[in-house]
Amino acid sequence: MPWATMSRQDPWTDHGAGHPEPVGLGRTEFRLAPRVLGAQLGTTNQTLSLEQEKKGKKRHPIAGTMLNQLLNFNRLHHYMTDLATKHYTYRLISPFRSEVYTADPANVEYILKTNFPNFGKGWYNYTILSGLLGDGIFTVDGEKWRHQRKVSSYEFSTKVLRDFSSSVFRRNAVKLAGIISNAATSKNSMDIQDLFMKSTLDSIFKVGFGVELDSTCGSSEGTLFANAFNDSSELTLWRYVDITWPIKKFLNIGSEAKLKKNIKVIDDFMYKLIRTKIEKVSNSKDDSAVECITPDHACFLIEKKEDIMSRFLDLNETDPRYLRDIVLNFLVAGRDTTATTLSWFIYMLCKHPHIQEKVAKEVREVTKASEDLSFGDLAATMTEEILDKMNYLHAALSETLRLYPAVPVDAKICFSDDTLPDGFSVKKGDMVAYQPYAMGRMKSIWGEDAEEFRPERWIDENGMFRGESSFKFTAFQAGPRICLGKEFAYRQMKIFASLLLHCFMFKLTDESKPVHYRTMLNLHINGALNVRAFHRPGCKISTT
């Protein structure tokens, strides 16, 4: 679906790129009967609930405390999926507020759309996230959010940005194919998650700033920035479970001292780049390109006005802090999400070789690429029109996101007392979180085969991609704050996946090694995803 058409559609139904999808759920369709407090709960809780019921206000069952989350930190999403299977919607007790976790699509629709103004980031999320993300689109509500959403939606819908980003994705996919080809020739194993991380960072950096970071080819600056970026993301998530973080911050010790150091690395790098760019862009009389010297004195040609920052500069936004926040939020939004999804996708294809073959077959049939094409020539065939025809690939990526959503839990703050569609009440100040990870695995939502990786569930009888309600498939959120980069992400993932699967076959280096997530803001694979690649017969080995 072209970005330009987004505004003409209901912006908060789950539109897959170029694919027709059903509209949102009816409220009753997925509503479960409120659960009576089970035997698992202590008598105090039952008494509490009965008192509240007498007053006409029922609160969701208490499934544990925040301490349980800490104790289960390394298997947090398993733990929360188990709780969601028992309770669908439940509360965890924390010292400052009730935390309500829901896997009920009717509740999700209510929070994200029906009563959208009553559930937002709030002061709680803002204080946790703003250290890293400033006043960017991820941390703010109200007018500040509306303004950024409006400007960013417009920019993302322009053909200039779409064409520019597609050409960046193709170039970086070709670069990655070259690295994988060398590893295949020398029969070396590689950490494909690490390669995707570098490649998507380079891509989003180029689209955000117009500058090559080149972390894929090991530029020291890119690696330093990428490490600081990884550590900051992890340390920021830690704030959600470590209630002592404000004290540590005040004393500048432990995790908070580390976070501060990492944010400084990020800021130094970004501010230098922003200042250089503002100077160069304002001094340049030539409209087509400007030269930019980065902090390590490397010199780049920036295609003027194609990248996100230039487009904001064009709107006379020259406050370095504002520009830093905008671009950093896009980097955070666009890097880990697509890289982790591509990693889990390759993992799933290694676990299901017949599905890997099916995707490769579709790419071959849709591109009709002749056998002697180089990586570059092949990438050039991946136009939007061609990508739109790859229904099975789209389904396999969506199926990956169902089971391994890049954002596994997403928390909002309730701004005033409210009653959710399941009949239970939430209070002002409660944290209310929907759970894409748990929801993707629930039989009550996806059927008995919920835990199975089966792209076919997304394909209709005519072989076309069939979307799901965004209140059921919540990987991209839903409602007015639905992911702004959804189409962008699918386009990037489809370009990378189609080029790589057309040229290579992937196998896990060690089939017996367990693969697990690492608990972070995004659903990373813990450690590395080591795979071996094999050239497919007929794919010419060339990086040009």
Annotated binding site for heme: 483
In the complex, the smallest distance separating the C-beta of residue 437 from ligand HEM, rounded to whole angstroms, is 11
Report the DSSP pairing between strands 89-93 and 62-65: parallel
Using DSSP, state whether 507 is helix, strand or coil: strand
Q: Which lies closer to ligand HEM via its Cβ, residue 373 or residue 501?
A: 501
Task: Please choose, from the candidates 510, 541, 519, the residue with its C-alpha nearest in 3D space to the C-alpha of residue 189.
Answer: 510
In the complex, the smallest distance separating the C-beta of residue 462 from ligand HEM, rounded to whole angstroms, is 26
Q: Do the Cβ atoms of 86 and 101 come closer than 8 Å? A: no
Burial of 75 (C-beta count, 10 Å sphere; 0-12/13-18/19+): middle
The identity of residue 250, as a single letter, is F
Q: Which lies closer to ligand HEM via its Cβ, residue 58 or residue 347?
A: 347
In the complex, the smallest distance separating the C-beta of residue 492 from ligand HEM, rounded to whole angstroms, is 6
Within 8 A by CB and 6+ apart from 254, the residues are: 248
In the complex, the smallest distance separating the C-beta of residue 405 from ligand HEM, rounded to whole angstroms, is 6
In the complex, the smallest distance separating the C-beta of residue 46 from ligand HEM, rounded to whole angstroms, is 34
Q: Which lies closer to ligand HEM via its Cβ, residue 505 or residue 529?
A: 529
Burial 362-386 (b: 16+ CB within 10 A, else e): bbbebbebeeebbbbebbebbebeb
Task: Please choose, from the candidates 514, 494, 526, the residue with its C-alpha nearest in 3D space to the C-alpha of residue 400.
Answer: 494
- Tell me the torsion sign for CA atoms 235, 237, 241, 247: positive
Task: Please choose, from the candidates 292, 267, 293, 266, the residue with its C-alpha nearest in 3D space to the C-alpha of residue 281.
Answer: 292
The identity of residue 521, as a single letter, is L
Q: Which lies closer to ligand HEM via its Cβ, residue 207 or residue 539?
A: 207
Q: Do the Cβ atoms of 176 and 194 come closer than 8 Å? A: no
Angle at 448 between CA 106 and CA 34, to 5 degrees: 35
Within 8 A by CB and 6+ apart from 404, the residues are: 340, 341, 344, 348, 437, 440, 517, 523
In the complex, the smallest distance separating the C-beta of residue 536 from ligand HEM, rounded to whole angstroms, is 26
Q: Do the Cβ atoms of 226 and 197 come closer than 8 Å? A: yes
d(CA 263, CA 492): 27
Q: Which lies closer to ligand HEM via its Cβ, residue 133 or residue 420?
A: 133
Q: Which lies closer to ligand HEM via its Cβ, residue 20 or residue 142?
A: 142
Residue ranges of the binding site:
483
Q: Please give the structure tokens belonging to residue 121.
A: 């980031």
Query: Residues in the site for ligand HEM, rule: CB under 6 A?
Result: 137-138, 149, 152, 204, 330, 333-334, 337-338, 341, 401, 406-407, 410, 475-477, 481, 483-485, 488-489
Taking the alpha carbons at both ends of the chain, their separation in whole angstroms is 29
In the complex, the smallest distance separating the C-beta of residue 44 from ligand HEM, rounded to whole angstroms, is 33
In the complex, the smallest distance separating the C-beta of residue 350 from ligand HEM, rounded to whole angstroms, is 19
d(CA 377, CA 382): 9
Using Cβ positions, the residue closest to ligand HEM within the complex turns out to be 485
In the complex, the smallest distance separating the C-beta of residue 436 from ligand HEM, rounded to whole angstroms, is 7
Q: Which lies closer to ligand HEM via its Cβ, residue 133 or residue 539?
A: 133
